[in-house]
Structure 1
C-alpha cells in the first residue's frame, strides 16, 4: 500500500459529479464562482461522523454568511445518506462516492494508521475550494470533534 497523493493550496480541485442522498447528480462545477468546504468522512451514522456533521449543521449559517457552501462526501450509498440526513436534520448536501474515485483524487482515501495498525480507508479530510476552482485549504487527518471550530478559526469566521 502506498500513501495517497495529497493536494495543496493552489492545486486545481479535482472535478466530480456524484449522487446526493436523493440520487440527484451534484457536480463541483455547480459551485463555480463560490467558495466550497468539501469534507470527507468515513461512514454516515457513526459517532464521530455524526458529531462532525452536526457541528457543520450547527454552524452552517455562519459559513453561508462568510460565502461558503458545505458539502460532505463519504463512500456510503445514497440510501444511507438519506437516513443520516433525516435522522440528524442535516441541511447541506451529502454525496455518495462508493467507488472512492473522488476520495482518492483528493488524497482522502488510502493508507492510514488506526489503533497502531496500518489500514486502507477514508482519511478524514477537509478542503476549501475557491471560486476559481483551486484548493485554498487542504487539511488531512482532521479530528471529528473540534474540527469545525478549528476550521472557523482558520478561516476567521
Structure 2
C-alpha cells in the first residue's frame, strides 16, 4: 500500500479505460484543475449518492475550472451501466487491479463489522493544472462530501 498523498505532491501518472472502452490518461487533464474521486463500487447506495452529488454539482465545479473524474475497481461494463442509470455527466474510469488507487493512497486496510480487509478507501484528490496535489481527502463520507469539498475549494 502506498502512502496517502499530501498537498504539493506530484500526482502519479496513469492511463485507465473509461466506461466506453476509451483510454484516458492523467496527462489528458494537464492545464486543468481536476477532481479525482475514488469510490468502492458502482451502483451501491453510498457510491450512487456520491456520484449523483458530483453530477448535480458539476456545472458549478466546471464554472470554477474543475473537471471531475470517478475511479473505481469496477469493470468498464458495470461503469457504463452505472453512468447510464444515473445520467452521470463525467468520466468513470476502471482501475480493476487497483494500481492507481494504491498509487494515490486510496487502497488499504478497512474495517467492517469488526473484520479487517483490504479495499478501496473512499477518497478525493484535487490536482492543480500542473499535476500537483492541492487537496487530498481520505475516508470521506459519501453523503455531504461534495458540499464540503466545494467549501474547501472556495466554490459557492
1:17-96 matches, cutoff 5 A: 17-96=15-94
Q: Deviation at 1:54?
A: 0.1
1:76-155 matches, cutoff 5 A: 76-155=74-153
The 1:66–1:60 alpha-carbon spacing in structure 2 relative to 1, beyond 3 Å, is: same
TM-score, normalised on structure 1?
0.96
User: 2 CA distance for matches of 1:86 and 1:20?
Assistant: 13
Superposed CA RMSD: 0.9
Q: Unpaired segments of 5 or more residues in structure 2?
A: none
TM-score, normalised on structure 2?
0.97
**8 A Cα contact 1:4 1:111, kept in partner:** no
Q: Deviations over 1:76-130 (max 9, x none)?
A: 0000000000000000000000010001000101112223332210000001011
**Counterpart secondary structure, 2:61:** helix
The alignment covers a number of residue pairs equal to 155
User: 1 CA distance for matches of 2:112 and 2:12?
Assistant: 27
